[in-house]
Amino acid sequence: MLDRFKSKPSKSGAGTRDLFINGAWIKASGGKTFDDFNPTTGALIAHVADANQADVDAAIAAAKTAQPAWATLPPAARAAVFHKAAALFTERMTDFVDAMITETGSGFGKAMFEASLVPVALHEAAGLTTHNIGAILPSQVPGKVNRTVRSPRGVIGAISPWNFPLYLSLRSFIYAMALGNTAVLKPSEDSPLSGGLMIAQLFADAGLPAGVLNVVTTGRDGAPMVGDSFVGSRDVAGLSFTGSTKVGQMLSMACAQAFKPIMLELGGKNPIIVLEDADIDRAVDLAFFGAFLHQGQICMSADRIIVAQPIYQNFLDKLVAKTKNFVPTAPHEQTCVIGPIINDRQLQRIASMVDEAQTQGATIHCGGTTQAPYYTATILTDVSRDMRVWSDEIFGPVTCVVPAQNIEEALAMANDTEYGLSAAIVTTDLAQGEMLAERINAGMVHINDSTVHDEPHCPFSGMGASGGGGKWGPAGAIEAFTTQRWISTQRIAHQLPF
């Protein structure tokens, strides 16, 4: 049980949940389980199978066996599974929304938003089955035809985070699967149901052949074993990882040694630049949404809000006034904006970063307190470059507001980070916004919108410590999850030199 709930009794009688391997629900072969808790109440949700090496090996073997037949199915047959999964998901959406609220403390609105992306992504994956995967290239040699063709890589090992458990777990494997790969998914220990086992059931019911998707769950201690297995197994052709920069870097280095591709989507330290000509009320709303949706536990959360000096004070006053209206609220309430923090480790980390910043001279305008399992919505100013709140991903309901004397200074501050996931610019001068966007070191820049934005067909990606290992969207998925071959045909014999 989470430390913060140790004094409360947890609900007993929670059921057990098994692994999904080769189309069947099986117990972990070591007989172990780990506990899945509700982060808001501390109640036990389920005892979840804690896979060991033999289980992971079995899942990889099942995916390997299933792959050739899956890849040679007509595209329409593969697409039909995704369309069916989308239809079933729509029927079960409430179950998934409830699970995200219960298991991860997703506020009702955030859970609905996340769920709304799922059918769109599934139809997008279906469309990928007939996407262009080849080209004809001219040749310098008379009578020669150069073609490129792409084939699925084979088995993809996917590891996903808990914060958008459903959508990010799906994203980690559906495009790979649409392209003819099979997958083993390891969801986060904080979201084994909404991020893994419920998804397995959805695909099983949609008619996915056995072995094409396998889901292995482990406690936190078992995660490195799964990562090592994906990297080390010759039967896993590539990895898809969404999570922290620290773990992503470790896996990336291991994959480099194994000459194995890895699709990486990691952390962020995302800036919003508010230019002098911005509509201040709109900028406040966008900044608030970007900083506090899902209590700031989003890779695209706006940690740094950089505001043109002439409007700085007015902007700050309005943002603080708005933020004070949002008190911690239970996630199942439809009004919830500031819900619980996922676990004690993260709650303590957020508190220590804010306390440390205050000691170093930062001013807290609102929030700054732990009300376990919540952390109050916090706005900091007087933040300097040597503070962790400026340089490290906070992943909580905390944002820093800083003034900029001019556009060049705003840009320099926005780019003063090793991360490069998302950024936003608020301005009424769209041409200026677009020119500035091209100078921000981020994979995604949104003008007059929040840093938090995703559309499944667009190239979601980060630079630097945010990943840079690939892009989502059809083109990026094809690059990440297929192998390209150059095949040439010499139609007319040409003269050889000897």
458 in catalytic set = no
Query: In angstroms, what is the minimal distance from the CB of 37 to ligand NAD?
Result: 15
Query: In angstroms, what is the minimal distance from the CB of 462 to ligand NAD?
Result: 6
Residue nearer to ligand NAD on the CB measure, 152 or 165: 165
If we measure between CA atoms, which residue out of 378, 436, 443, 444 comes closest to residue 412?
436
CA distance 42 to 36: 10
Cα dihedral 93→197→218→36 (10° resolution):
50
Is residue 375 helix, strand or coil?
strand
The residue annotated as part of the active site, out of 189, 265, 366, 393, is 265
CB 64 within 8 A of CB 152: no
Residue nearer to ligand NAD on the CB measure, 38 or 242: 242
Query: In angstroms, what is the minimal distance from the CB of 393 to ligand NAD?
Result: 5
Query: In angstroms, what is the minimal distance from the CB of 153 to ligand NAD?
Result: 19
Residue nearer to ligand NAD on the CB measure, 106 or 188: 188
Residue with tokens 């890779």: 299
Dihedral sign, Cα of residue 11, residue 12, residue 17, residue 18: positive
Residue nearer to ligand NAD on the CB measure, 429 or 449: 449
For residue 209, say if its preceding peptide bond is cis, omega within 30 degrees of 0. Answer: no
Give the amino acid at 338: I
Q: Count Cβ atoms below 10 Å from residue 181 Cβ, excluding itself.
A: 25
Which residues would be at the binding site for ligand NAD (CB under 6 A)? 159-164, 168, 186, 188-189, 223-224, 226-227, 242-244, 247, 250-251, 265-268, 299, 393, 395, 421, 462, 467
- As beta bridge partners, residue 364 has 380
Chain mean position to CA 480: 16
CA distance 186 to 449: 33
CA distance 47 to 219: 11
CA distance 342 to 45: 14
CA distance 124 to 456: 7
The residue annotated as part of the active site, out of 255, 299, 336, 400, is 299
Residue nearer to ligand NAD on the CB measure, 192 or 328: 192
CA distance 249 to 247: 5
Dig out the tokens for 325 from the structure: 């209206």
Query: In angstroms, what is the minimal distance from the CB of 487 to ligand NAD?
Result: 34
Query: In angstroms, what is the minimal distance from the CB of 145 to ligand NAD?
Result: 40
Query: In angstroms, what is the minimal distance from the CB of 96 to ligand NAD?
Result: 17
299 in catalytic set = yes
Residue nearer to ligand NAD on the CB measure, 312 or 472: 472
Residue nearer to ligand NAD on the CB measure, 80 or 247: 247
Helix (H), strand (E) at residue 89: helix 75-104
Is residue 470 helix, strand or coil?
coil
Positions marked catalytic: 265, 299
